[in-house]
Amino acid sequence: MAIRKIGIFTSGGDSPGMNAGIWSAVKTAKFLGLECVGIRRGYEGLIENDVIPLRLDDVKGIITQGGTILKTARSKAFMTAEGRAKAIETLKRHQIDALLAIGGDGTFRGALALMQEYEIPIVGIPGTIDNDLFGTDYTIGFDTALNTAMTCCDKIRDTAESHGRLFFVEVMGRDSGSLALHTAIACGADALLIPEDTTDMQRLMEKLKAHESKARQESFIVVVAEGETQGGALSIAAQVKEKFPVYDTRVSILGHVQRGGNPSAFDRILGARLAAEAVKNLMQHERGVMIGIMNQKIIETPFVQCTNSKTIAPIDLMKIIE
């Protein structure tokens, strides 16, 4: 059966560059003679029949915008057979022949569940700021979040240096230290704490010991991954303060600013490339795969693999911070 109409949705945590993906998918679909509709709020919208037209005019200019014009959500209802039955109703009602899913591993798990129950080709592209998806060297949104976190650290360096302060800067990444690791290198951080490294706390203490004579004269910045296992930036700062009272200590939790903002060139191009490729794959009756980029090449990875494995942060890069 020929593919004539594609439904596009974003799901899970939003990330900058998702809109570039939507834009490119609509453009490519039009080029190939396909129609597009948007499903709002991920699987929630699929269940609730929240479907909107997506023509070229609807996506005009969105390549520059953060967030996702299709909105996103995490759907509990979709984890039930009942929820998925409603989703299938929506697909039938709108004669949607195939789905482009933009999101992370939860998104692809949902896609797998749906494909087991209904004959619908789904192809995914990786949208998350965490850069921990198996099957791609980069996820859409990572580079923007990295530049945002780095810019924040640069600003914090300004004031830390003026006051001679020790800062703990908490960067997003509940399960992965990738964003924190790259942020630390990019801002020239003095130390780094990530879940992937169990020896870092000890090294931090050694460094603080060595730097003690310069405390209050010079800045010292520790980047802490959100998922760090010592209890988070606030707790670590308290421990350090107790051990090294000479330091004038501050904590900054960067938070949700890391999820927004106009996407960087890298994320726009990545989103545009992967989405264009995904639409072509759907056209060719591919299904159940995520389109990623590895070693500079566009590749496909079955959803099953994407949901069972994680990409590990390149911790050998930590040595640059030593």
Instruction: Output the smallest distance, CB 119 to its own copies, in A.
Output: 30
Among 155, 209, 243, 285, the residue binding its own copies under the rule CB under 8 A is: 155
Sheet holding 98-103, edge to edge: 51-53, 35-39, 5-10, 98-103, 122-126, 289-294, 297-302
Q: Which is nearer to its own copies, 63 or 91 (by Cβ)?
A: 63
Quickly count: other Cβ atoms within 10 Å of residue 304's Cβ: 13
Q: State yes or no: residue 143 binds its own copies (CB under 8 A).
A: yes
Instruction: Output the smallest distance, CB 102 to its own copies, in A.
Output: 12
**CA 267 to CA 269: how far, in whole Å?**
5
Q: Which of 14, 130, 132, 190 is catalytic?
A: 130
Q: Who's near 105: CB < 8 A, 6+ residues apart?
A: 133, 306, 307
Query: Using CB under 8 A, which residues numbered 251 to 270 contact its own copies?
Result: 251-262, 264-266, 268-269
Instruction: Output the smallest distance, CB 181 to its own copies, in A.
Output: 10
Among 34, 36, 54, 73, the residue binding its own copies under the rule CB under 8 A is: 73
**Residue 202 burial (CB < 10 Å; 0-12/13-18/19+)?**
exposed
Among 250, 286, 302, 315, the residue binding its own copies under the rule CB under 8 A is: 250
Stretch 279-308: interaction string toward its own copies, x if CB under 8 A = ---------------xxx------------
Count interface residues toward its own copies (CB under 8 A).
73
Stretch 40-59: interaction string toward its own copies, x if CB under 8 A = -x------------------
Return the bridge partners of 9, or none: 101
Q: Which is nearer to its own copies, 97 or 190 (by Cβ)?
A: 190
Is residue 130 part of the annotated active site? The answer reads yes
Q: State yes or no: residue 322 binds its own copies (CB under 8 A).
A: yes
Among 5, 58, 161, 244, the residue binding its own copies under the rule CB under 8 A is: 161
Among 95, 159, 198, 308, the residue binding its own copies under the rule CB under 8 A is: 159
Among 7, 67, 83, 177, the residue binding its own copies under the rule CB under 8 A is: 67
Residue 240 and residue 232 in contact, taking contact as beta carbons nearer than 8 Å = no
Q: Which among 145, 194, 114, 180 has a CA at the least distance from the CA of 13?
A: 145
Q: Which is nearer to its own copies, 139 or 264 (by Cβ)?
A: 264
Q: Which is nearer to its own copies, 90 or 178 (by Cβ)?
A: 178
Residues labelled as active-site residues: 130
